[in-house]
């Protein structure tokens, strides 16, 4: 009897000791939807899927959130309702706790991280053609530049704030690692952005379905050069895009359609069909006032009145609506009154406006500038202008403000004006007060050496 | 030999019949068992006898008159009695003698074994199971508060089934779990509070399915030597729970029932409609706004004036508690069995919130042969928690925040839109701003959420004693949990589809297997040197399976009625596992029971760490000297017991998510442009260098007993340094990740503990006092290369700051209300006054650690009555009342209700007020946001609470015997009935819902719309036979 018990005991112990080191090696189960990072990128198809995820996050970031933050600093918008994070931006008192800002910032850098993974890991894959590899790298670098630039516009003072742009910019992530990130100067930021765009322009295809093409790279360069007040280059690239005739100006004022249209040089895609309802641009829904009597984002009364006073009845009717509530009148926005919009992040109208302004400011071709701006004006039901010189410049700037209202462009233009003419105001705040630059999320400050932005000073 | 005695007795009896004065007696012990061989002495004549096998004796040939008898027995107190014997009469009496209470001989459960209290050289506190039953909460750990020095228990809230935060000797971990290891009958149980995340402001409570009535004793292991045997998981202390087994011979049945009512300890002082409107209008006017004020929730001013809803009254009622516990035990010569059944039904004071548990247990031991014993424990319980929204997710939390008194519960009239459609009918629930979260009554009535947890903890142990002094044990156990959450949203819940109802279900199961084999060998050399050797190994495997969550759109009524036309199911099932291997050994030595030493070593391996760091080695050593055994103290009249003990050791902690070291990719179909994408999860990157968090502890203590142990107690000092602290660090967002797991930094905990037990009066009237107090000092010693912002306390602004305790508050200082303008004045970083609030001016402030915590218990006994008074107290320490920044802040469009404390506000120049002028915009408070964190909301959290006041009556023996019972007791008790505190918030004993373990360790002093504790009045009936 004793022996039997002994036997059981010893065999149990021996059985347990037989467990090998495998016993302590527990990995998550690889399923269709989850797997280890070391197993993730094996084929060309994997690379393409990862690339699409960069588009996905870019679409989230630029689906209205970045644009809204920029508009809130500007003079197109009235006080937002019911959104404390937006109110903080509107009051120009952003702090490190703002969750909306932190979400936008985070998404942009997630896209950049994934783009870096593609750029540096594409060689791990064997079954891919050289042409495809180049295309994938070009698309990644385009998106990396696009996201960096969006963040740069919000989180740093504009180019020209210091004469050599040595003032602090943003963190430029150009490598695939988890190192600490510190801010580069604005000059360096722009240099790296343009380098990426150059590669993209050289290697992106002419046509790429719904994704980035070399025309998108050129249009982006036009935008970046205008920010730098480099009018020759801005005119050059905007001109190339327009002269390609691939993106004719629409007859209708509405370029925020639920589907492709000819002005989209680069757009985010909402997908509806096959049982899928994937709406992008949902941060633009904050403006939507056709089905909501209390929209979060509204037009500023001064802006609407100025529009109407300047005789701009077509745009006033198509893009605005008055909201009466308890004896108070506010002005809702009708520009985004639809679902499943494709957001045109780079569009022909912007190219027209950029080219016109660059031609005048660069003393290149005022007549062509006049023609361009009149195309825009006529489409908006206004009479063509015969202005020249500074008056033409004023007309161009006005048209830009009205045409691109609520698209996240106005604040940058106010700052450009401030840089050029040393004076510009957004509502009552000077263009260069610290509060006109958004504060970084608190997470950036978790390592010593990171420089947060100064705040306030805008009252 | 025995037969001869019998014959002699018989003879005496026969002869004795003839004699006149006789005393016949029966001597019984406390369990009513006969005491055999007790000496019975007649003091006057020095004659005597002894008791027989039935405990009976006869004294004859006595002189009439007073006779003094003394009964004595080894291990028992002497009993003297004076009996008057009348001439020619025989008297029969019963004598009950009490076992000598030598505290030091008490058996204490230690890791993988049992030791006598006197032999222990480490720091362990033992509590009786019935002490835990005094506090009528479903979850047993709530009853530990104040019972052991250095053990801090903060009960979550008054919600039924809510979890407590338990800390032994401070907080030594940040992102790894900070709770002690819970071991039930040798099984380290599943104890994850975040199995289902935040879950609507109610974290999972893994201890709720343990039945308190099953518990025989609880041992709290505090220092490295005690916990050393648990090695890698013992760094935050260990709580050993032993369940009941059949101890007493024969059959015994115990039954108790408890009936009671509960109420909250305090009610919030929210404003009513008139007060709110008055204050709102004042804010409006202060801001220079004209016209009728625009109210939140689209309510017109006139309608608001006619509505006054008291939401707190709508969600709080009187709770009802009842429990029934039955225990049956049987012990024979070679076996014992215990079976227990319990039903506990706790309807809390929050209407619609309840926790019902049914549990059963079966424990048995069988001494199969002289050298082989088999033990079995099995338990099965089902806990059903009917939940209500709380805190930030609604319910009582909404009643204290966004549910304004100006909102009616129902629409008073039909509401017709411009197109002529009726969009609401009179009698429909009113949802301000289409937000159901603002109508707690609607949230309660239109939705059922029920969490059901089935738990079974089972163990089989085989104990062999093949040779003298050698004990081999092998045991296998399974802790199985199946958890299911059902949610049913009734028609009306979804404003956009009011006819639609929906049902949701999530479920998971956890299977936790544990096997161990231990060999113990005891040997004594030369009768002086006593050795004990122990060698063992342990394997643990835990697997959590999460099942596909389901969602049904149903038009039928019926909660779990699955007759639904469309079923949308999220197919993702996943599992998580972790494994653990350990080898350990212990050597005990004592010399003549005077000098003790112990050495422990343990090598643990965990699957949670990468290949380079899987194993850790954790040694410890302790020594003790029983000074009272020395010749110079042995006969001392005052000092009956004096022991000095000390220990040092190393423990570890690996309580991080099982796959923390890995970087994960996901894939999603139809993600962009209808295409499939793959992407890295943005949570954290891979870290293959993660390793054990280790603590080095030093402990020094003095145990004393005075006046024959009439007064006893302990004084202890400890110092614990934790390094390689496992932290889930917030990384810069520009890395593409939000966090990363890393071993960073150091934390130091040191403190003093003092406890004393005294039997102050020991006559017919008894009074015993039990007092303990402890002070813990906690400090972050290093953060490596990270700044204070790297570790965030979840949604609360607490920080790790070098030189300050964990979870330090980081706030802008509030200076005063400016008497001229009424605006709040803050202090900037340098201490200068400013009107601007910016996070740049935050400083470390407040002291979240209490100066001391403890409890004091008074037990009175007089005849059949007993009275117990148990106070718990916390001295010092601050509480941050996070929700008051809105409840006492701006009157903005977001719409929070305010507390009547705000009446003390600035109204005109020259006013000296506590709160600034009322306003609708945070710009007047110097900020862009109404969520303004300042130390105005930081309060002293000192409190003393009468945890239990109970009066009990034990029924007299005769009545009890007539009812065929062995004992019966009835008692009434009040719990948490009196609180002494200066804290102006709701309840100074709070712990809010948490997002994750880091949050749980770093934000213990934050309250945010947390429900107050419950106070209760109970009637208990306890019978046994």
Q: For B961-984, write each residue's pLDDT tens digit.
A: 888 887 888 999 998 999 999 998
Gyration radius of chain B over CA positions: 33
CB contact under 8 A, A55 and B672: yes
Region label for A148, one of left (φ > 0), alpha (ψ between -120 and 50) or beta (otherwise): alpha
CB contact under 8 A, B574 and A31: yes
Question: Which 387-416 residues of chain B touch chain A by CB within 8 A?
Answer: none
Given CB atoms, is A33 within the 8 Å cutoff of chain B? yes
- Reported as a single tens digit per residue, the pLDDT across A243-263 is 999 999 999 999 999 989 999
Residues of B in contact with A39 (CB under 8 A): 665
Q: How many percent of chain B have pLDDT more than 90?
A: 32
Q: What is the mean pLDDT of chain A?
A: 90
Least CB–CB distance from B839: residue in A85, A97, A114:
A97
DSSP secondary structure code for residue A75 in this structure: S
In B6-43, which positions are buried (b, 16+ CB within 10 angstroms) versus exposed (e)? eeebeeeeeebeeebbbbebbbbbeeeeebeebbbbbe
Give residue B431's pLDDT. 86
- Reported as a single tens digit per residue, the pLDDT across B747-758 is 999 999 999 999
Give residue B459's pLDDT. 93
> Which residue in B1012, B228, B579, B612 sits closest to A22, CA to CA?
B579
Least confident of A236-240, B730-734, B963-967: B963-967
- Reported as a single tens digit per residue, the pLDDT across A191-218 is 999 999 999 999 999 999 889 999 999 9
Least CB–CB distance from B733: residue in A19, A328, A443:
A443
Burial label for B67, CB within 10 Å (0-12, 13-18, 19+), is buried
Least CB–CB distance from B839: residue in A6, A56, A95:
A95
CB-based contact B25:B60 (threshold 8 Å): no
Q: Place B468 in a pLDDT band, splitting at 50, 70 and 90.
A: confident
Give residue B137's pLDDT. 67
> Which residue in B398, B344, B237, B413 sits closest to B883, CA to CA?
B398
Given CB atoms, is A40 within the 8 Å cutoff of chain B? yes
Q: Place B629 in a pLDDT band, splitting at 50, 70 and 90.
A: confident
Which token pair is B679?
Answer: 């992407």
List the single residue in A with minimal CA-CA distance to B574. Answer: A29
Name, in order, each residue with C-beta under 8 angstroms of B779's C-beta and a sequence gap of 6 or more. Answer: B747, B748, B803, B804, B805
- Reported as a single tens digit per residue, the pLDDT across A13-71 is 655 555 556 788 888 888 888 888 888 888 899 999 999 999 999 999 999 999 999 99
CB contact under 8 A, A26 and B462: no
- From A82's Cα to the closest Cα of chain B, the distance in A is 6
CB-based contact B549:B504 (threshold 8 Å): yes
CB contact under 8 A, B733 and A9: no
CB contact under 8 A, A84 and B894: yes
List the single residue in B with minimal CA-CA distance to A445. Answer: B789
Q: How many percent of chain A have pLDDT more than 90?
A: 70
Given CB atoms, is A450 within the 8 Å cutoff of chain B? yes
Least CB–CB distance from B659: residue in A28, A56, A92:
A28
List the single residue in B with minimal CA-CA distance to A85. Answer: B929
- Name the one residue in this structure whose structure tokens are 């009107």: B835
Given CB atoms, is B605 within the 8 Å cutoff of chain A? yes
CB-based contact B271:B897 (threshold 8 Å): yes
How many interchain CB pairs under 8 A, A with B?
A: 249
**For residue B983, what are the CA distances in angstroms to B365, B523, B896, B899, B1002?**
52, 58, 22, 14, 21
Give residue B105's pLDDT. 62
- Is 50 exceeded by the pLDDT of residue B789? yes
> Which residue in B1023, B997, B984, B991 sits closest to B1010, CA to CA?
B991
Query: Which own/partner contact pairs does B117-120 have at CB distance under 8 Å and 24+ positions apart?
Result: B118/B593, B118/B626, B118/B641, B118/B643, B119/B588, B119/B590, B119/B593, B119/B596, B120/B226, B120/B624, B120/B645
CB-based contact A418:A437 (threshold 8 Å): no
Given CB atoms, is B607 within the 8 Å cutoff of chain A? yes
> Which residue in A342, A287, A343, A352 sits closest to A320, CA to CA?
A287
**For residue B828, what are the CA distances in angstroms to A448, B814, B927?**
21, 9, 14
CB-based contact A182:A171 (threshold 8 Å): yes
Least CB–CB distance from B732: residue in A2, A274, A446:
A446
> Which residue in B543, B546, B544, B542 sits closest to B572, CA to CA?
B546
* Helix A389-403 with A348-361: angle, nearest 10 deg: 160
- Reported as a single tens digit per residue, the pLDDT across A133-186 is 999 999 999 999 999 999 999 999 999 999 999 999 999 999 998 888 999 999
Residues of A in contact with B581 (CB under 8 A): 19, 23-24
Question: Which 164-203 residues of chain B touch chain A by CB within 8 A?
Answer: none
Give residue B469's pLDDT. 80
End-to-end alpha carbon distance in chain B:
35
**For residue A244, what are the CA distances in angstroms to A231, A237, A359?**
20, 11, 18
Least confident of A396-405, A427-436, B20-29, B199-208: B199-208
Question: Which 127-166 residues of chain A touch chain B by CB within 8 A?
Answer: none
CB-based contact B191:B506 (threshold 8 Å): no
Gyration radius of chain A over CA positions: 26
Given CB atoms, is B730 within the 8 Å cutoff of chain A? yes
Give residue B561's pLDDT. 45
Q: How many percent of chain B have pLDDT more than 70?
A: 91
């Amino acid at each position: 009897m004793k022996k039997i018990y002994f036997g059981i005991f010893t065999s149990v112990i021996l059985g347990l000791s037989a467990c090998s080191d495998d016993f302590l090696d527990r990995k998550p189960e690889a399923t269709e939807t989850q797997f280890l990072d070391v197993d993730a990128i094996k084929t060309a198809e994997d690379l393409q899927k990862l690339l699409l995820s960069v588009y996905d996050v870019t679409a989230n970031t630029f689906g209205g959130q970045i644009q809204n933050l920029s508009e809130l600093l500007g003079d197109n918008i009235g006080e937002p309702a019911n959104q404390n994070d937006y109110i903080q931006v509107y009051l120009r008192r952003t702090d490190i706790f703002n969750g909306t800002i932190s979400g936008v910032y985070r998404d942009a850098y997630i896209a950049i991280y994934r783009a870096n993974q593609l750029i540096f890991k594409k060689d791990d894959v064997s079954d891919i053609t050289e042409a495809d590899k180049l295309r994938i790298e070009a698309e990644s670098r385009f998106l990396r530049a696009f996201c960096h630039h969006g963040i740069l516009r919000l989180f740093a003072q504009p180019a020209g704030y210091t004469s050599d742009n040595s003032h602090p910019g943003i963190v430029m992530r150009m490598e695939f690692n988890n190192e600490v990130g510190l801010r580069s100067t604005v000059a360096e930021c722009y240099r790296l952005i343009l380098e990426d765009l150059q590669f993209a322009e050289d290697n992106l295809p002419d046509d790429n379905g719904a994704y980035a093409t070399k025309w998108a790279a050129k249009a982006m360069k036009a935008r970046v050069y205008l920010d730098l007040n480099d009018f020759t280059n801005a005119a050059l690239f905007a001109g190339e895009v327009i002269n390609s005739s691939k993106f004719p100006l629409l007859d209708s004022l509405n370029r925020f359609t639920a589907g492709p249209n000819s002005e989209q040089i680069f757009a985010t895609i909402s997908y509806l069909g096959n049982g899928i309802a994937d709406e992008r641009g949902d941060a633009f829904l904050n403006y939507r006032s056709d089905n909501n009597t209390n929209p979060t984002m509204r037009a500023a009364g001064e802006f609407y009145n100025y529009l109407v006073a300047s005789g701009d009845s077509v745009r006033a009717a198509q893009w605005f609506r008055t909201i009466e509530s308890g004896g108070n009148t506010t002005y809702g926005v009708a520009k985004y009154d639809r679902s499943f919009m494709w957001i045109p992040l780079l569009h022909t109208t912007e190219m027209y406006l950029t080219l016109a302004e660059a031609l005048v400011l660069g003393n290149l071709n005022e007549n062509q500038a006049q023609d361009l701006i009149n195309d825009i004006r006529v489409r908006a039901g206004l009479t063509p202008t015969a202005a020249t010189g500074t008056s033409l410049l004023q007309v161009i700037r006005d048209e830009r403000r009205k045409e691109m209202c609520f698209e996240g462009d106005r604040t940058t233009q106010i700052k450009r004006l401030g840089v050029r003419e040393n004076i510009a105001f957004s509502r009552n705040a000077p263009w260069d007060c610290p509060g006109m630059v958004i504060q970084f999320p608190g997470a950036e400050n978790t390592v010593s050496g990171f420089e947060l932005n100064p705040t306030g000073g805008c009252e | 030999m025995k037969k001869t005695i019998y014959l002699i007795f018989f003879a005496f009896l026969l002869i004795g019949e003839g004699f006149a004065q006789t005393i016949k007696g029966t001597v019984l012990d406390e369990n009513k068992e006969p005491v055999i061989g007790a000496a019975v002495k007649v003091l006057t004549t020095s004659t005597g006898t002894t008791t027989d096998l039935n405990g009976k004796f006869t004294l004859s040939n006595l002189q009439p008159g007073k006779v003094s008898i003394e009964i004595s027995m080894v291990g028992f107190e002497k009993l003297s009695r004076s009996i008057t014997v009348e001439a020619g009469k025989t008297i029969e009496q019963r004598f009950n003698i009490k076992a000598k209470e030598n505290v030091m001989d008490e058996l204490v459960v230690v890791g993988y074994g049992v030791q006598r209290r006197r032999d222990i050289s480490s720091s362990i506190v033992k509590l009786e199971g019935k002490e835990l039953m005094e506090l009528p909460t479903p979850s047993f750990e709530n009853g530990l508060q104040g019972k052991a020095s250095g053990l801090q228990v903060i009960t979550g809230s008054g919600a039924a089934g809510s979890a407590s935060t338990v800390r032994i000797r401070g907080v030594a971990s940040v992102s790894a779990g900070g709770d002690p290891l819970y071991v039930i009958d040798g099984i380290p149980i599943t104890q994850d509070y975040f199995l289902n995340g935040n879950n609507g402001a109610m974290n999972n409570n893994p201890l709720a399915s343990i039945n308190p009535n099953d518990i025989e004793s609880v041992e709290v292991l505090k220092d490295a030597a005690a916990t050393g045997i648990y090695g890698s998981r013992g760094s935050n202390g260990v709580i050993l729970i032993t369940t009941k087994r059949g101890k007493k011979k024969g059959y015994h049945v115990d039954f108790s029932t408890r009936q009671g009512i509960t109420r909250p300890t305090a009610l919030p002082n929210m404003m009513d409609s008139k007060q709110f409107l008055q204050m709102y209008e004042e804010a409006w006017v202060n801001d220079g706004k004209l016209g009728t004020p625009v109210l939140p929730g689209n309510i017109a001013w006139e309608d608001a004036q006619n509505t006054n809803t008291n939401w707190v009254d709508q969600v709080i009622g009187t709770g009802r508690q009842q429990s029934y516990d039955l225990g049956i035990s049987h012990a024979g010569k070679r076996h014992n069995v215990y079976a227990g059944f319990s039903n506990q039904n706790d309807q809390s004071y929050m209407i619609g919130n309840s926790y019902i548990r049914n549990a059963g247990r079966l424990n048995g031991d069988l001494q199969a042969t002289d050298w082989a014993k088999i033990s079995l424990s099995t338990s099965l319980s089902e806990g059903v928690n009917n939940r209500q929204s709380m805190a930030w997710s609604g319910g009582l939390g909404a009643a204290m925040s966004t549910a304004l008194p100006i909102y009616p519960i129902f629409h008073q009239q039909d509401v017709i839109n411009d197109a002529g459609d009726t969009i609401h009918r009179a009698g429909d629930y009113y949802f301000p701003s289409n937000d159901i979260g603002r109508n707690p009554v609607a949230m309660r009535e239109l939705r059922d959420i029920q969490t059901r947890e089935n738990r079974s903890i089972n163990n089989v142990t085989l104990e062999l004693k093949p040779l003298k002094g050698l004990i081999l044990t092998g045991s296998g156990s399974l802790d199985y949990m199946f958890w299911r959450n059902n949610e049913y949203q009734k028609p009306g819940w979804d404003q956009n589809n009011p006819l639609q109802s929906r049902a949701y279900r999530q479920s998971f199961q956890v299977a936790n297997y544990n096997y161990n084999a231990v060999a113990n060998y005891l040997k004594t050399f030369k009768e002086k040197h006593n050795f004990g050797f122990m060698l063992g190994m342990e394997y643990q495997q835990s697997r959590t399976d999460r099942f596909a969550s389901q969602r049904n759109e149903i038009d039928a009524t019926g909660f779990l009625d699955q007759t639904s036309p469309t079923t949308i199911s999220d197919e993702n099932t996943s599992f998580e596992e972790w494994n653990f291997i350990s080898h350990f050994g212990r050597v005990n030595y004592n010399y003549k029971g005077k000098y003790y030493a112990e050495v422990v070593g343990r090598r643990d391996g965990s699957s949670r760490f990468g290949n380079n760091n899987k194993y850790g080695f954790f040694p410890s050593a302790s020594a003790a000297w029983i000074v009272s055994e020395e010749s110079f103290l042995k006969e001392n009249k005052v000092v009956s017991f004096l022991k000095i003990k000390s220990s040092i050791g190393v423990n570890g902690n690996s309580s991080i998510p099982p796959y923390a070291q890995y970087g994960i990719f996901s894939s999603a179909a139809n993600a962009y442009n209808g295409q499939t994408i793959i992407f890295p999860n943005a949570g954290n990157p891979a870290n293959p260098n993660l390793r054990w968090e280790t603590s080095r502890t030093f402990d020094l203590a003095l145990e004393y007993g005075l006046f024959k142990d009439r007064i006893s107690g302990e004084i202890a000092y400890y110092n614990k340094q934790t390094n390689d602290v496992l932290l889930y660090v917030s990384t810069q967002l520009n890395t593409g990740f939000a966090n990363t797991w890393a071993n960073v930094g150091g934390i130091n905990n040191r403190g003093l503990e003092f406890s004393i037990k005294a039997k102050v009066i020991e006559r017919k009237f008894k009074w015993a006092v039990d007092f303990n107090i402890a002070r813990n000092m906690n400090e972050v010693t290093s953060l490596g290369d990270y700044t204070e912002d790297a570790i965030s306390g979840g949604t609360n602004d607490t920080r790790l700051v070098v030189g300050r305790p964990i979870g330090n508050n980081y706030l802008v200082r509030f200076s005063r209300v400016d008497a001229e303008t009424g605006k709040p004045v803050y202090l900037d970083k340098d201490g200068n006054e400013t009107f601007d609030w910016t996070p740049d001016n935050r400083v470390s402030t407040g002291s979240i650690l209490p100066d001391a915590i403890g409890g004091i218990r008074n037990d009175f006994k007089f005849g059949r009555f007993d009275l117990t008074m148990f106070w718990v107290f916390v001295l010092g320490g601050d509480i941050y009342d996070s929700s008051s920044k809105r409840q006492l802040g701006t009157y903005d469009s977001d719409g929070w209700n305010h507390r009547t404390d705000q009446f003390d506000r600035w109204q005109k120049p020259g006013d000296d007020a506590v709160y600034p002028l009322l306003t609708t915009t945070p710009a007047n408070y110097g900020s862009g946001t109404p969520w303004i964190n300042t130390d105005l909301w930081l309060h002293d959290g000192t409190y003393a609470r009468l945890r239990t006041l109970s009066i009990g009556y034990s029924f007299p023996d005769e009545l009890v015997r007539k009812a065929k019972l062995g004992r019966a007791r009835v008692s009434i008790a009040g719990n948490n009935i009196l609180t002494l505190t200066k804290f102006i918030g709701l309840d100074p004993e709070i712990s809010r819902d948490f997002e994750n373990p880091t949050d749980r360790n770093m934000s213990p002093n934050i309250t945010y719309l947390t429900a107050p504790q419950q106070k209760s009045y109970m009637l208990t009936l306890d019978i046994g036979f």
